[in-house]
Structure 1
Amino acid sequence: MIDSRENAAIAAAIDGELRLLDPAVRADPSEARRLHDPEFTEVGASGRRWTYDEMLAALPELDGSAADGPRFEASAMRGVLLAPGLVHLTFETLYEGRRARRSSIWRKGEGEAGWRLYYHQGTPVPEG
């Protein structure tokens, strides 16, 4: 049975993930920094490994970051509380006809830090 604290943790992680898909947030270095854990790593759908510094430097120029451009469409987002302060999200995205399955781990920061993206992986879904 899911309790209210578990629901709140999952909701906070989902909110953070959806914010990171918003072009305005992706283009705002201070907001992107606030939502990424300092120990963040990613294995992108391209296969590239990203560090915290690399992602924050590149994010404003990556797909889905232009205010007037195409956006990522997220679907089937689900979350599971792995441990206190640790949420695993799974979902799919569609971007310009390309689908990817995604997995994120969100970690609750100390004090006022809030929930931050600790790890992300994207896996392309083959056409058909």
Structure 2
Amino acid sequence: MDDEDQIAEALAAERESLRPGCRADAARFARLLAPDFHEFGKSGSEFGYEEALRLVAASDGAPITVENLRGSLVADGVVLVKYTSEHAGRRAHRTSLWRRVAGGHWQIFHHQGTPAAG
């Protein structure tokens, strides 16, 4: 698989993870998270796989808008995704690291959110 295809697939996985239908379906969302998932949240909190599943399940379902979504290949099968999100009137700069796993699908293994100005 060439670099551009890997980036495109990881970007598609990031978009999927942000869709309300995915976030409302625990099994669908869990498939996108690596068992060793780790996040530094925009709140300053740090959490892993189980906490991420719990937080998404408890979320309000409000849509998440995305600006300037882009990716770069870090290594074969590893893509860094960057974008700015807005959710419930709050903006954040975000980065995600995705890796291709057995079966060819993508899982996020690290995410960070940083509050953004207006």
Normalising by structure 2, we get a TM-score of 0.93
Of the three residues 38, 41, 45, the one matched with 1:44 is 41
Length, aligned pairs only: 118
Of the three residues 87, 95, 110, the one matched with 1:95 is 87
Of the three residues 103, 106, 115, the one matched with 2:106 is 115
Change (3 A) 1:94 1:42: same
Find the aligned partners of 1:120 and 1:42 in 2 and give their Cα distance. 5
Query: Share of identical aligned residues, percent?
Result: 35
Of the three residues 112, 115, 118, the one matched with 1:124 is 115
Written as runs of structure 1 = structure 2, the 5 A alignment for 1:23-102 is 23-63=20-60, 66=61, 70-102=62-94
Task: Name which one, 1 or 2, has greater alpha-carbon Rg.
Answer: 1
Change (3 A) 1:113 1:57: farther
Find the aligned partners of 2:63 and 2:20 in 1 and give their Cα distance. 7
Runs of 4+ in 1 over 6 A off after TM superposition: none
- CA deviation after TM superposition for structure 1 residue 115, in Å: 0.6
Change (3 A) 1:114 1:74: same
Find the aligned partners of 1:56 and 1:97 in 2 and give their Cα distance. 22
Find the aligned partners of 2:26 and 2:104 in 1 and give their Cα distance. 16
Find the aligned partners of 2:104 and 2:38 in 1 and give their Cα distance. 18
Runs (5+) with no aligned partner, structure 2: none
Normalising by structure 1, we get a TM-score of 0.86
Which letter does structure 1 place at the counterpart of 2:82? Answer: T
- The answer to whether the aligner puts 1:14 opposite 2:3 as a matched pair is no
Find the aligned partners of 1:5 and 1:62 in 2 and give their Cα distance. 36
Runs (5+) with no aligned partner, structure 1: none
